[in-house]
Amino acid sequence: MLVKEKVEQAVRLLNEFGFDCWITFVRESSMNGDPTLAYLVNGALTWHSAIIITRSGRSYAIVGEYDRRGVEDLRAYGEVHGYVKGVKEPFQTVMKKINPTTIAVNFSKESEICDGITHGMYLTLVELLADLGMGGRIVQADRLVSALRERKTETELQHMKEAVRHTEEIFADVSRFISPGKTEKEIAAFMRAEVERRKIDFAWDSSVCPSVFTGPETAAAHYAPTDRAVERGQIMNMDFGVKVNGYCSDLQRTFYVLDRGEHAAPPDVQKGFDTIVRSIEMSRAAMRVGVQGFDVDAVARNIITAAGYEEFPHALGHQVGRFAHDGTALLGPAWEKYARKPFHALEQGMVFTIEPRLNVPDRGIATIEEMVVVTSTGAEWLSTPQTNLLLVQS
């Protein structure tokens, strides 16, 4: 059902962007997979394969004979051609029939999620089209592919809401497990066991999912749990997500481990946490269709620096989808590494994280990561926002 939804969406996007057809060209996709292929077929394709969708609504899948039945079962393509000896004859026959003026192909100079064709496959495709006098009609498909990934259908959003539900439930479970003396590895093992019990997947490599950071002397992000033990009077944060039906969640939560005699977090910890909460809510309020990610990032960055903290050393938020980090548009600053991504306008159906952070000296990192979806009227929560510091009893 999802493949059919995305093929139909692709037809609308071809018309929106003015491309005559879109070709996704792959081989041995389990080894050299295109990031977009999961929207077009279920599983891998073996021999040279071309998924061709046209702005008129005609769609074609040209695949190896042993892949044909699986693609036919999707009922998403008007014609499915299986071949034995080579892709050239069926591919060129279809392209002659279509005779497109513009041919969008799965490559991009800017966005990694749109750049799935290998160099060798690109050269092969150019040769096949050159034989037909169509070699000069190729354009990059990044605008179309970005939109296809970023504008979530209702089915996709339901999968993501389910992933968020599991994530929040596991966070609630581990909150009761944490205590002073427990190590980062023990906390992570508890959460991993729960993922396995629920028979779901991790949103990213399980060696760093979840990531657990306690106290001020940590790697801060993207690092495996260590033997460091939870200590009283320190902040602990966790980065965690799961994958359900191929779609991810990505959330972070912050805890404070009460010191002996404490019944609430001390002022420096509470101030840091409250600043994060305010920056997230004000950023979400700034999100709406047409706004650039750069401007949303600036909202949170200004709140945090105005409160006396250093600016966070990363983008405010990334998109989430089939990968924890997905999509082209970014809520980020105008830094070299982000290229043009922060200047893409927000579109309805995009799902973003909002994840500012700040350092509370001698305590640790205060950070929360929420998920929101851009709607016609603004941005709505997909996660249940953390507005209270999670207190670990000593």
Nearest to 344 by CA among 114, 23, 81: 114
Per-residue b or e along 183-211, where b marks 16 or more CB atoms closer than 10 Å to that residue's CB: bbebbbebbbebbeeeebbbbbeeebbbb
Residue 93 structural domain:
2-149
Residue 44: φ, ψ to 5°:
-95, 160
| Residues 14 and 145 occupy one common structural domain | yes
Q: Is the pTM of this model over 0.85?
A: yes
**Residue 18: pLDDT over 80:** yes
Shared domain check, 119 and 33: yes
Largest CA distance in the chain: 80
Average pLDDT on 98-105 reads 97
Q: Which residue has 């799935």 as its token pair? A: 116
The domain boundary, picked from 127, 149, 171, lies at 149
Same domain, 255 and 327: yes
Q: Counting beta carbons within 10 angstroms of the beta carbon of residue 133, is it exposed (0 to 12), middle (13 to 18) or buried (19 or more)?
A: exposed
My answer on whether 202 and 106 are in the same domain is no
Q: Same domain for 127 and 166? A: no
Q: Are 94 and 134 in contact (CB under 8 A)?
A: no
**Using one digit for the tens of pLDDT, what is the confidence trace for 176-226?**
999 999 999 999 999 999 999 999 999 999 999 999 999 988 877 778 999
What is the per-residue pLDDT for 175?
96
Once rounded to an integer, what is the mean pLDDT over residues 25-37? 92
Instruction: Indicate which CATH number applies to the domain containing 17.
Output: 3.40.350.10
If asked whether residues 98 and 190 sit together in one domain, one would say no
Q: Do both 135 and 192 map to the same domain?
A: no
**pLDDT of 340 above 80:** yes
**Pair 160, 116 in one domain:** no
Q: At residue 60, does pLDDT exceed 80?
A: yes
Last residue of a domain, one of 149, 173, 198: 149
Residue 223: per-residue pLDDT: 85
**Residue (of 41, 15, 13, 14) closest to 26 by Cα position:** 41
Q: How far apart are CA 82 and CA 48, in angstroms?
A: 11
Together in a domain, 132 and 183: no
The two tokens of residue 40 are 């077009």
Residue 106 sits in the same domain as residue 169: no
* Average confidence score pLDDT of the chain: 96
* Pair (233, 368) in one structural domain: yes
Q: What is the C-alpha radius of gyration for the chain, rounded to an integer number of angstroms?
A: 24
pLDDT of residue 85: 96
Q: What percent of the chain has pLDDT over 90?
A: 94
Tally of structural domains, the chain? 2
Instruction: State the pLDDT at residue 140.
Output: 94
pLDDT average, residue stretch 239-267: 97
Statement to judge: residues 219 and 187 lie in one domain = yes
